[in-house]
Amino acid sequence: MLRKWATFGSVAAGAAAAIGASACCAGPLLLVMLGIGGAWGSRLVALERFQPLFIAAALAFFAAAFHRLYRRPEACAPDEACAAPQVVQRQRLLFWVIAVLAAALMAFPWYAPLFY
């Protein structure tokens, strides 16, 4: 049971780090689209120097989650939910959906000029 939450924690932390990595570029654009501008956008641009750290953290957390899901799967008793193949399949699908969305967020600075 603890390993399940550890995998979820790794995926959640990776997603949060990906959001932090894109805050400098996607954040101001999102605020402008919402009609909020000015000082908020300039404060988010200050996070740009931390972008490599956020990206490294996101990749490390996603690597840990990948390791827990594929390399060292959880050993479960036959009556637990994690023993069901549908549960494992759903966890892996959710991992890949979040990882792809996080990769799009982390790569936002490269394709952001298309939106400006």
In this predicted model, what pLDDT tens digit does every residue of 46-103 receive, in sequence order?
Answer: 777 888 888 888 888 889 889 888 887 667 777 776 667 787 888 889 889 989 988 8
Domain count, the chain: 1
User: Which residues are CB-neighbours of 101 under 8 A, at least 6 positions away?
Assistant: 15, 18
**pLDDT, the chain, mean:** 77
Instruction: Determine the structural domain holding residue 17 and report its residue range.
Output: 2-114
The pTM of the full predicted model, rounded to 2 decimals, is 0.72
